[in-house]
């Protein structure tokens, strides 16, 4: 309870959470308010400036597509990826790290060696591999990013598990005859939660960043859907003639990532967790 109070007395974190909730609300409701469709081409208003003409509040792109709807669709995509892929990477990371840390010894050594090798390989590599093999739907993208983002989570969980393993309640569980799987699931994992929550909130912006990076490269979200990354890539090419094409999605992405980071930092301070 005192953690929640500490969090509430941190004005930056509260403001950041407010902005995040606001962005979620706009992203969910916004597209319903606009009369424009995400894929509709408005040839009468090509590369229009932001304004009220044709209800293109954030302007349009080179094809006359409405930037308001496309930016909010991209924001939604970023949030969905951030949540889904973080959940996946969290799940893998906790399971892997807890097993390695609890079993220790040779198993731990081998499992950590695997992580060392995987982190030596560039992430983009796996993404290309997985998207080529499994096709490029947005669900594959969630899975792919989640499947490559768990390495640092596993490292942190392992470190925490190493110290939890030596505590008395684990000894008591062993003495009362609980099996290894049960001890990890019922006694180790629940005690990891503090650091896991903090790290998870900081994983979400990293994953959003990674998704927009992939979309920026053209490896992410497919047309007609947009991603903040693709919009920024398009906007960067048009910034001389139509700067709003860069400024609108860029500002959305920057605001989202900034607030998630500030909130995560606030949460870390409130829960008093040390970074791994």
Partner 1 sequence: MTRYFLKRLAGAIPTLFIIITAAFFLIRAVPGGPFDQEQSLPPEILANLQRAYGLDLPVWQQYGRYVSALAHGDFGPSFKYKDFSVTELIAQGFPVTLEIGVAALLLAVLVGIPAGVFAALHHNSAADYATMSLAVVGIAVPSFVVLPFLGLLFGIRLHWLPVAGWEPDSIRHLILPVLALSLPPLAYMARMMRGSMLEVLRSGFIRTAFAKGLPLRVVILRHALRPALLPIAGFLAPAVAAILTGSLVVESIAGLPGIGRYLVQGALNRDYTLVMGMVVIYSALLIAMGLVVDLLYAWLDPRIRYSG
The residues that touch partner 1, with contacts defined as CB under 8 A, are: 12, 113, 116-117, 120-122, 124-126, 128-129, 132-133, 205, 209, 212-213, 216-217, 229, 232-233, 235-236, 239-240, 243, 246-247, 250, 253-254, 257-258, 260-262, 265
Q: Is 131 exposed, middle or buried (0-12, 13-18, 19+ CB in 10 A)?
A: middle
Please name which of 157, 12, 135, 139 lies closest in space to residue 81, comparing C-alpha atoms.
139
Tell me how long the chain is: 276
Tell me how far, at minimum, the Cβ of 250 lies from partner 1, in Å.
Answer: 5
Tell me how far, at minimum, the Cβ of 168 lies from partner 1, in Å.
Answer: 29
Distance CA(91)–CA(1), nearest Å, equals: 26
Residue number, 184 or 266, with CB nearest to partner 1: 266
DSSP one-letter string for 120-168: HS-HHHHHHHHHHHH---HHHHHHHHHHHS-HHHHHHHHHHHHHHHTSH
CA-derived radius of gyration, the chain: 22
User: In the chain, what are the helix, strand and coil shares in percent, each to the nearest 5?
Assistant: 75, 0, 25
Residue number, 10 or 36, with CB nearest to partner 1: 10
Tell me how far, at minimum, the Cβ of 152 lies from partner 1, in Å.
Answer: 11
Tell me how far, at minimum, the Cβ of 173 lies from partner 1, in Å.
Answer: 34
Residue number, 36 or 212, with CB nearest to partner 1: 212
Residue number, 188 or 231, with CB nearest to partner 1: 231
Angle at 105 between CA 99 and CA 110, to 5 degrees: 70
Residue number, 28 or 236, with CB nearest to partner 1: 236
Tell me how far, at minimum, the Cβ of 78 lies from partner 1, in Å.
Answer: 12
Mapped onto helix, strand or coil, the DSSP state of residue 204 is helix
């Amino acid at each position: 309870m005192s953690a929640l109070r500490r969090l509430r007395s941190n004005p930056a974190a509260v403001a950041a959470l407010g902005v995040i909730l606001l962005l979620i609300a706009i992203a969910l409701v916004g597209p319903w308010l606009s009369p424009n469709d995400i894929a509709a081409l408005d040839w009468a208003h090509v590369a229009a400036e932001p304004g009220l003409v044709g209800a293109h509040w954030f302007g349009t792109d080179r094809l006359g597509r409405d930037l308001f709807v496309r930016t909010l669709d991209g924001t939604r995509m970023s949030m969905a990826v951030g949540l889904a892929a973080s959940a996946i990477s969290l799940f893998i990371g906790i399971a892997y790290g807890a097993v390695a840390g609890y079993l220790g010894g040779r198993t731990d050594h081998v499992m950590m060696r695997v992580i060392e090798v995987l982190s030596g390989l560039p992430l983009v590599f796996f993404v290309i591999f997985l998207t080529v093999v499994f096709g490029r739907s947005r669900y594959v993208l969630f899975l792919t990013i989640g499947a490559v983002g768990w390495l640092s989570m596993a490292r942190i969980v392992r470190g925490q598990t190493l110290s939890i393993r030596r505590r008395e309640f684990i000894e008591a569980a062993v003495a009362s005859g609980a099996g290894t799987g049960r001890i990890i699931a019922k006694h180790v994992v629940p005690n990891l939660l503090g650091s896991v929550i903090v790290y998870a909130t900081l994983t979400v912006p990293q994953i959003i960043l990674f998704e927009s990076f992939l979309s920026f490269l053209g490896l992410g979200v497919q047309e007609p859907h947009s991603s903040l990354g693709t919009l920024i890539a398009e906007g960067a090419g048009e910034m001389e003639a139509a700067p709003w094409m860069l400024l609108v999605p860029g500002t959305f992405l920057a605001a989202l990532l900034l607030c998630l980071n500030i909130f995560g930092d606030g949460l870390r301070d409130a829960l008093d967790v040390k970074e791994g």
